[in-house]
A = this chain, B = another copy of it.
Amino acid sequence: MSKSRILSIQSHVAFGYVGGKAAVFPLQCLGYDVDVVNTVNFSNHSGYARFGGSRTSASELSTIFQTMEENGLLEPERLLTGYIPGGEALSSVKDLATRLRHKNSQMIYLLDPVLGDSGKLYVAPDVIPIYRSMLPLSTIITPNWFEVEVLTDIRITDLLSLRKALRILHEEHHVPNVVVSSIPLRAWMYESLPSHIQHPLDADNPQPDDGYLLCISSSTEDPDRGGYPSTVHARSIPLIPGYFSGVGDLFSALLLAHYQPTSEYLVSESVNANGHPLPIAASEALSKTHAMLALTQEYSMSLPEDERLPTDEEIDEQEPSRKIRRMKGRELRLIQGQDIIRGTRPIEHRKMELWTGFWSS
């Protein structure tokens, strides 16, 4: 087992599994030496309503990066960046990513542009243009649906606007690889999918837009980083109800861990679902993340009733401890499910399939 070194820059919480706590252990299990820089040091994630601790300032971040560089300790083969709450801190990370990219054009940089979710920003608005300017440095980005909309300024309501958004990411922002996981599957998406990707509708699932999520990957092979059209893959998976934190952070870490650009497709140059490194990695990340979520959900449902209260924001407001108890019962079962990460526990494989005719149909 001799894998490369990853520099991971994201949030740290003492309790629970989001940010670095959701990403670093899986990467280590999969054989990577991980250098860990914490952008915040908090007690727990913000979903608990109450959280305490401090943010790492831009100058503290720069000092850490600079000292590592002076000591010859800043030569990662891979870079992973996640939640960075303010513009100044993000600028410091951007400077670093620029230097590292300049030193090593082969570095694999997974940039997770953490901006918000479901229509709400959870960073300062000044980070948005900085993230846009960082996109050309990336190898892979993993925005959620909302973040794709914010980064591209496109409201995605149909296949045409989805195409436009992906084209902007690839052509204008020079992103070679995009993976959007956990998209609530709408009827228009379902109808746009080729039949081999559509999940079957039956008595349990009569509506196409009910109870499923879609994962999309879009990759280009253009050395100029502006390839178009891209190759698009997709997979729908059953939605596990309830809100769980850290799922995106785990997914991004697994995607980076399993992304192996030296696989044979580079030799054969055949474009199919088996050969592309991006959908191969996305399939692994999707399968493992879903299995981990199912394990967490199962545990959460086994708790006493008052620790598995359903999500209800109105009741939560009247009784904040209710939300806290629920959050605690829904922390990812990363430790108990570490065999899933390592691949030694059998799980269902959810393969990303080629979206034939994505650009032309």
Using a CB–CB cutoff of 8 Å, the interface residues on chain A facing chain B are 1-3, 7, 12, 14-16, 21, 25, 28-29, 31-33, 35-38, 41-44, 48, 50-54, 56, 60, 63-68, 70-73, 321, 324-325, 328, 335-336, 338
B64, A52: Cβ atoms under 8 Å? yes
What CA separation (Å) do A12 and B70 show in the bound complex? 19
> Which 7 A-B residue pairings sit nearest by Cβ, starting from the closest?
A52-B67, A43-B67, A52-B63, A15-B73, A43-B64, A43-B68, A15-B35
Could you name 12 residue pairs across A and B whose Cβ atoms are closer than 8 Å?
A: A1-B336, A28-B338, A29-B29, A31-B336, A41-B41, A41-B56, A43-B65, A43-B73, A52-B63, A52-B67, A53-B64, A72-B324
Which of the residues B7, B25, B56 comes within 8 Å of A25, measured between beta carbons? B25
What CA separation (Å) do A1 and B299 show in the bound complex? 13
B15, A44: Cβ atoms under 8 Å? no
Contacts of A56 in B (CB 8 A): 41, 54
What CA separation (Å) do A290 and B67 show in the bound complex? 31
What's the minimum C-beta distance from A138 to chain B, rounded to whole angstroms? 21
Contacts of A7 in B (CB 8 A): 14
What CA separation (Å) do A15 and B75 show in the bound complex? 11
Given A32-B335, A48-B71, 6 new contacts (CB under 8 A): A21-B36, A28-B338, A43-B63, A43-B67, A43-B71, A54-B60
Which of the residues B3, B50, B64 comes within 8 Å of A41, measured between beta carbons? B64
Which of A2, A12, A14, A35 has most B Cβ within 10 Å?
A14
What's the minimum C-beta distance from A182 to chain B, rounded to whole angstroms? 25
Contacts of A68 in B (CB 8 A): 14-15, 43-44
Contacts of A65 in B (CB 8 A): 43
Which of the residues B33, B67, B335, B336 comes within 8 Å of A51, measured between beta carbons? B67
Contacts of A324 in B (CB 8 A): 71-72
What CA separation (Å) do A41 and B328 show in the bound complex? 26
Contacts of A16 in B (CB 8 A): 73
Which of A21, A37, A335, A336 has most B Cβ within 10 Å?
A335
A53, B43: Cβ atoms under 8 Å? no
What CA separation (Å) do A64 and B51 show in the bound complex? 8
A72, B328: Cβ atoms under 8 Å? yes
Contacts of A48 in B (CB 8 A): 71, 73
B14, A35: Cβ atoms under 8 Å? yes
What's the minimum C-beta distance from A19 to chain B, rounded to whole angstroms? 12
Contacts of A67 in B (CB 8 A): 43-44, 50-53
Contacts of A51 in B (CB 8 A): 67, 71
